Structure 1
Amino acid sequence: MRADRLVSLVLLLRQRGRLSAATLAHELEVSTRTVLRDIEALSAAGVPVYAERGRHGGFALLPGFRTELTGLNHDEALSLLVAGLGRGEQVFGLGSALASAMRKVVDALPEGSQATASDAARRMLIEPETDLLARRAAVDEVPGDVAAEVRRAVFAGHKLRLHYAAAGRPPAWRTVDPIGLVTVRDRGYLLATRSGEDRTYRLSRVLAAEELPEPAERPDHVDLDRIWRDRSTRFRAGGDQVAVELRLRPSRREELAGTALAVLAEAAEADGVGGAGGADGADGADGAGGWLRMTVTFQDARHAEWALWQLATDAEALAPPSLRTALRDRALALAARYDTPP
């Protein structure tokens, strides 16, 4: 680990010039005291690193110094593979490895191409933390030591002991046979079996993890895409799901489809057909081109109420009656709140 850090320190100084101890510590995710010890080790090994004192001082390399310490380690190579899958490197705890790997890639380029590549990278922003409405992306936080232990067990094919906090239950230890890792919308999942039964664990709910020496009971070859589809189908078919009949403006169709578990039926509404409340005249004023009649499923009644509330007057729940009542009561409570001055 220290050898990799020393290589990264040299590459940072080569590519970015003079840097303070505090900046190096932030980039390498260590303390400033560790950076100072590493600088002494590099100097003792003959690397021409020197200190510049003063307000804008820091550490730098003698001009023209170059070394061939650019070999990628396992985690760095892996981080480059998952980097194209969104923010998988963060979900699986490979963020620092990715930064180190990219420094090595840049350093391995011909000298004339380094500036061009660095400038090109600065002109691309992939999956920022917020969208145009300043809404922050919800990224699961997974402790680095937990992510590393889970990764090791998955790749080594060893059993894994998890301290897991399932929703609505107290944390408990369980031993599983890990199959693979999946990231979906910046949430990480461990696919595993337990006593031969399929299990899916959300990584952010793993409080602690321990790789065991025993080999995991799992097939030699795996199709994670197929396994994930199968488990997703079973998940949507279980629980306290509720089917909802509704009317919807076509402009909100994709938003609803992305929220619901499944769309069971869909058709354009015939002209002149109003909703259950019969107040359709004012709704068509925006020229949306008619309404859709849909039947969709949600995980439970609470999920259905939340989803329809987000759509405001662009949707109308037709059935079940309990959902219409819940939405009406919520709207009346909100209207009452704003009916008088504050």
Structure 2
Amino acid sequence: MRADRLVSLVLLLRQRGRLTADTLARELEVSPRTVLRDIEALSAAGVPVHSERGRHGGFALLPGFRTELTGMNHDEALALLAAGPGRGEQAFGLGSALASAIRKVVDALPESHRATAGDAAQRLLVDPETDLLARRAAVEEVDGATMIAVRRAVLAGRRLRIRYAAADRAPQWRTVDPIGLVTVRERGYLLATRSGEDRTYRLSRVRAAEELPEAAQRPDRVDLDRIWRERSARFLSGGDHLSVRVRVHPGRREELLGTVLAVRAEAPDADGWSRLEVTFQDARHAEWALWHLGPDAEALSPPSLRRALHDRAAGIAARYADSA
């Protein structure tokens, strides 16, 4: 761990020039005292780090301390720089590792690629935290130690013991055979089997995890994309999910799609609106989502949903009738 941190420290100084101990500590997620010890270790190993005192002081490297990677072209470097810093870097607890990898790649680029790709990447933003209406994306938090244990078991092919809190239930311990990890719309999932039966666990509901010594019962090769599609289809076809036919204004279409579980069909309407067949979690979910779209959406079926929306609108109208 310290060796990786020392490399990251050198790369930070190479790419950004003079940096203070406090800045390095924030980047490396350690204390300033640890940074000072690392600086001493680098100097003792012959790395040309020098300190500068004063208001604009800090630590810096002497020029020329670098290597080059000539096999990467400009667009390849740009793809890494643009995709790396997005919120997806936190998937599966690998955010710090990704940031360190990006620093190493950037430092190894030829000088011409490094300058132009870095400038271009500043003009590309992938998946920001808020949309144009200033709505923040809902990001589910997963405990770091728990995520590490889950990830290690998945990659090592070992059984996993998790303390899982299913919806509206107290957390319980269960032993599973992990297959893989999937992230969708900022939500992470563990695909596994339990006693031979397929199971899908939301990572934010895993309260604790322990990697077990015995090998997981699973195939050597896996197609996660196919497994995810199959489990999604089973999920949507079972339970009490509600299928709804709806008309929506084109300006609110994306907002609607952000609330549904699935889109089964879509076609343009004569007035420029869209007609869709979508799936909601249940009637309450559907009523909530369509109510927030106001007059820019119309539920066509089922009739019970139309009645529910009508009754809610009538109640609101009656409440404010005296202020017309």
SS at match of 2:15: helix
Partner residue, 2:288: 306
Q: For the residues of structure 1 that align with 2:235 and 2:224, how far apart are their CA atoms?
A: 16
Q: Could you tell me how far 1:208 is from its partner in structure 2?
A: 1.5
Deviations along 1:210-230, one digit per CA (max 9) or x if unpaired, are 111110000111111111011
Partner residue, 1:232: 232
Q: How does 1:136-285 map to 2 (within 5 A)?
A: 136-249=136-249, 256=256, 259-262=259-262
AA paired with 1:304?
A
Q: Answer whether contact 1:298 1:304 (CA < 8 A) is retained.
A: yes
Q: Establish whether residue 126 from structure 1 lines up as the match of residue 108 from structure 2.
A: no
Q: Answer whether contact 1:91 1:142 (CA < 8 A) is retained.
A: no
Provide the TM-score with structure 1 as the length reference.
Answer: 0.81
SS at match of 1:134: coil
State the identity %: 77
Partner residue, 2:304: 322
User: What is the total number of aligned residue pairs between the two structures?
Assistant: 311
Q: Could you tell me how far 1:195 is from its partner in structure 2?
A: 0.8
Partner residue, 2:64: 64
Q: Could you tell me how far 1:337 is from its partner in structure 2?
A: 5.5
Q: For the residues of structure 2 that align with 1:262 and 1:115, how far apart are their CA atoms?
A: 43
Q: For the residues of structure 2 that align with 1:85 and 1:241, how far apart are their CA atoms?
A: 36
Deviations along 1:282-319, one digit per CA (max 9) or x if unpaired, are xxxxxx72766665442211111122213322333344
Q: Answer whether contact 1:106 1:117 (CA < 8 A) is retained.
A: no
Q: Could you tell me how far 1:264 is from its partner in structure 2?
A: 5.9
Closer/same/farther in 2, CA of residues 171 and 243 from structure 1, 3 Å limit: same
198-207 or 5-14: bigger deviation: 198-207
Gap regions ≥5 residues in structure 2: 70-79
Closer/same/farther in 2, CA of residues 86 and 235 from structure 1, 3 Å limit: farther
Q: For the residues of structure 1 that align with 2:108 and 2:279, how far apart are their CA atoms?
A: 52
Provide the TM-score with structure 2 as the length reference.
Answer: 0.85
Partner residue, 1:31: 31
AA paired with 2:223?
D
Deviations along 1:9-68, one digit per CA (max 9) or x if unpaired, are 011011111101111011111111211111121122222212222222211112333368
25-34 or 130-139: bigger deviation: 130-139
Closer/same/farther in 2, CA of residues 326 and 16 from structure 1, 3 Å limit: same
AA paired with 1:20?
T
